[in-house]
Chain A
Amino acid sequence: GAVVSQHPSWVICKSGTSVKIECRSLDFQATTMFWYRQFPKQSLMLMATSNEGSKATYEQGVEKDKFLINHASLTLSTLTVTSAHPEDSSFYICSAGFRGGQETQYFGPGTRLLVL
């Protein structure tokens, strides 16, 4: 149980294009989904928290207009990197928390983005 998937696992795009990453909780309904970014040999940096049906809460320093988050259902959240630039190249990981109580976050396998 508690499986989270991400799609795609790898994406290469040209500078200036937009990229959408999907995060799905496969066998449970997620109260909240989180988006992280991880640079090589560094720990996870939380970008935003998203709740189903409401606007995402972004961490300080994260551009809302650049990283668009949509949480349309209890099992799906999407992150769109708009007008991507080489500095946006990174490993993006989502996680999903169980509904209610003391939530454990379960992580997806991550998406490697390379912007040329």
Chain B
Amino acid sequence: EDQVTQSPEALRLQEGESSSLNCSYTVSGLRGLFWYRQDPGKGPEFLFTLYSAGEEKEKERLKATLTKKESFLHITAPKPEDSATYLCAVQTWYGNKLVFGAGTILRVKS
């Protein structure tokens, strides 16, 4: 069974304090790994798609990396507006649906 585990469940950072979120996965054949950001009461907002081990993508203060077993979302010098729930999801070659992790709730305090 395909599984996605995110850690930590919650993370509190001071503004400017860099950190990383982890997404470990067990799938039969990875087609793509997706990172989304979700604000309370809203739908997830697409951030990145990673397709193969060693791939990296960046957007502003966020950088996503991928290995054969896990992905990291690195947040550099976060700001309060980065506070949100970050969701990781995998898609396999056996179907086009996404399997989501439980998410990491990030709070950045000024």
The tally of residues in B whose CB lies under 8 Å from a CB in A reads 21
Contact A105 B34 (CB under 8 A): yes
Contact B51 A44 (CB under 8 A): no
The distance in angstroms between the C-alpha atoms of A110 and B38, with both chains bound, is 11
**Which one, B34, B51, B102, contacts A43 given CB within 8 A?**
B102
Choose the segment among B11-19, B21-29, B70-78, B93-101 that binds chain A (4+ C-beta atoms closer than 8 Å): B93-101
Most buried by A among B44, B87, B91, B100: B44
The distance in angstroms between the C-alpha atoms of A107 and B44, with both chains bound, is 6
Closest B residue, CB atoms, query A31: B96
Contact B31 A102 (CB under 8 A): yes
List residues of B (79-106) whose CB comes within 8 Å of A's CBs. 87, 91, 96-98, 100-103
Most buried by B among A2, A44, A102: A44
Residues of chain B whose beta carbon lies under 8 Å from any beta carbon of chain A: 31-32, 34, 36, 41-46, 49, 51, 87, 91, 96-98, 100-103
> What are 28 A-B pairs with beta-carbon distances under 8 A?
A2-B46, A4-B43, A43-B87, A43-B102, A44-B87, A44-B100, A49-B96, A91-B41, A93-B43, A93-B44, A95-B43, A102-B31, A102-B32, A102-B49, A103-B91, A103-B96, A104-B32, A104-B34, A104-B46, A104-B49, A105-B34, A105-B46, A105-B98, A107-B43, A107-B44, A108-B43, A110-B41, A112-B41
Further contacts, 13 of them, CB under 8 A, given A102-B91, A106-B46, A107-B36: A4-B43, A34-B97, A34-B98, A44-B44, A44-B100, A46-B97, A91-B41, A95-B44, A102-B31, A105-B34, A110-B41, A110-B43, A112-B41
